[in-house]
Amino acid sequence: MVKKVFQFLQPLTNKDGHLLFDGVAARELAKEFDTPLYVISESRIRHNYKRLSEELTRNYDKIHIYYAAKANSNLSVLKILETEGAHLDAVSPGEVFLALKAGFSPERILFTGTSVRNDELRFIADCKVPVNIDSFSELERLLKHVVPKILSVRVNPKIGGGHHDHCITAGPQTKFGLWEDETLKTYAKAKNAGVERFGIQMHIGSGILNLEPIILAFDNLLSMAKKIRDKLGITFEFIDMGGGLGVPYKPEENELDLCTFSNRILSLFKRRIVEYNLGTPFFCLEPGRYLVSDASILLTSVTTVKVTPFKKFIGVDAGFNTLIRPSMYGSYHHVLVANKVTSQEKEIYDVVGPICESGDFLARDRLLPKIEEGDLLAILNVGAYGFAMSSQYNSRPRAAEVLIKNKKCLLVRKRETFDSLVFNQQMVE
């Protein structure tokens, strides 16, 4: 019998104690492609995009969803979102390159960089990709190269939020965005230089499940838009609230109520654009995690069971080189034993990887079915900032990525090999 494992993690089902992901048995995937393996569900990405898009367009018809490619920039993932009609938020020339390759036209991309080099700015401008400015100097340097047709500015809306300090990107402590005086100065300079079309943007942080900071910050952004309109006569083509929508990682956490989110943010938006005489700009947002996180799992094999006088360790073949979030942010990723999903016999384990540091763990003090060497674990919700943040640390080639498309399993990124470790190196004798 096939049963859902979690209500909120749709592609996961259980068939006689074995885990299926988007209808495909985890152990078959591991057998065919080996581990560690990132497995991505195309249908889940499409579903996530559609439900967000539908909820938003129910309230306002000029909506652009910019997928934040940093969450997962696999070309096939970009292509899926491209065909859904998404726009794309890029933070580096590399992301612009990948987005163009996946078929996004330049006007569907917005480049939001920080500490941007001149040659990078020139590359972005030459690609005709609109720039979202993160410092006055960035604008000055861009203008030396070209007067762009359209320009946006990243505003610091004074309020930040996020699941970890490292992921709060607005408010007094962060390097991101411009404060009021600089914002006005930047728009004035751009207008004087001949820029004719404008947007305005914020991004307050990542992994936000409580809407309050987003709503308060967005209201601040809207009043900044009014000030700019009043002082400089600029009308905005788009107003962009950034990304940050959180997802539940623990089974007991509630998912964001999309309907409430859409109602609250868009009723504020619609009220203010009338009150502040802002015309009818596009409402934009830049979700990364929300679109791809639950669309991927990481399969990893148990190599070692090790019991010390203090702890039981489960050694697996994925470490923080493969998934760094637990070690970097203390993030929780739910773990299932893919071949023992319904097992009742439980033990408390630390799940650790093959990296030679004590910070190399995927889960700590986790109650799991009794584990033996050769078992297969599934680490959930790894579609966002999973593979994207992986490395070759300890000279371990990066994992492979497989896409499930209509029940077919397609290798969308080959496993790296030892050759990948020497690629670009030159040995000097």
Minimal distance in Å, beta carbon 103 to ligand LLP? Answer: 21
Residues 400-429 that bind ligand LLP (CB under 6 A): none
Least distance to ligand LLP, CB of residue 422, Å? 28
Q: Least distance to ligand LLP from the beta carbon of 246, Å?
A: 7
Q: In the window 347-376, what residues touch ligand LLP (CB under 6 A)? A: none
Told to check if 96 binds ligand LLP by CB under 6 A, we report no
CB atoms within 10 A of CB 166: 11
- 152's enclosing H/E stretch is strand 150-154
Q: Does 242 bind ligand LLP (CB under 6 A)?
A: yes
- Class of residue 324 by CB neighbours under 10 A (exposed 0-12, middle 13-18, buried 19+): buried
Nearer to ligand LLP, 333 or 366 (CB): 333
Binding test (CB under 6 A) with ligand LLP, winner from 68, 142, 225, 318? 68
Residue with tokens 């639950």: 294
Contact 271, 278 (CB under 8 A): no
Under rule CB under 6 A, residue 218 binds ligand LLP: no
The residue from 127, 259, 284, 356 that is catalytic is: 356
Residue 109 φ then ψ, to 5°: -115, 145
Q: Does residue 356 have an active-site annotation?
A: yes
Q: State the Cα torsion 129-135-139-141 to the nearest 10°.
A: -100
Contact call for residue 112 and ligand LLP (CB under 6 A): yes
C-alpha span between 399 and 241 (Å, rounded): 34
Whichever of 240 and 375 has its CB closer to ligand LLP, that residue is 240
Distance in angstroms (rounded) separating the CA atoms of residues 190 and 135 = 12
Q: How far is the CB of 419 from ligand LLP (least distance, A)?
A: 28
Other beta carbons within 10 angstroms of residue 378's beta carbon come to 26
Per-position x/- string for 250-289, each x denoting binding to ligand LLP as judged by CB under 6 A, each - no binding: ------------------------------------xxxx
Binding part of the chain for ligand LLP, among 43-51, 122-130, 199-207, 295-303 by CB under 6 A, reads: 199-207
Q: Give the bridge partners for 315, in sequence order.
A: 304, 352
| Of residues 36 and 243, the one with the C-beta less far from ligand LLP | 243
Q: Which of 71, 96, 217, 222 binds ligand LLP (CB under 6 A)?
A: 71
Is 203 or 396 the residue whose CB approaches ligand LLP more closely? 203
Q: Strand, helix or coil at 347?
A: strand
Count residues contacting ligand LLP (CB under 6 A)? 23
SS (H, E, C) 269-282: HHHHHHHCCCCCCE
In sequence order, what are the residues at sequence separation of 6 or more whose Cβ sits closer than 8 angstroms to the Cβ of residue 421? Answer: 392, 395, 397
Phi (first) and psi of residue 271, to 5 degrees: -65, -50
Residue 87 sits in the site that holds ligand LLP (CB under 6 A): no
> Under rule CB under 6 A, which residues in 312-331 are in contact with ligand LLP?
325, 329
| Minimum separation from the CB atom of position 84 to ligand LLP (A) | 16
Is there binding between residue 243 and ligand LLP (CB under 6 A)? yes
Q: What's the CA gap between 369 and 161, in Å, rounded?
A: 36
Spatial separation of the C-alpha atoms in residues 241 and 254, rounded to whole Å: 23
* Pair of tokens at residue 308: 């010390």
SS3 label, residue 400: strand
Q: How far is the CB of 105 from ligand LLP (least distance, A)?
A: 20
Does residue 203 touch ligand LLP according to CB under 6 A?
yes
The length of the chain, given as a count of residues: 429
Member of 156, 206, 322, 390 binding ligand LLP (CB under 6 A): 206
The residues assigned a catalytic role are 356
Binding stretches for ligand LLP (CB under 6 A) = 68, 70-71, 89, 112, 167, 169, 203, 206-207, 242-245, 286-290, 325, 329, 384-385
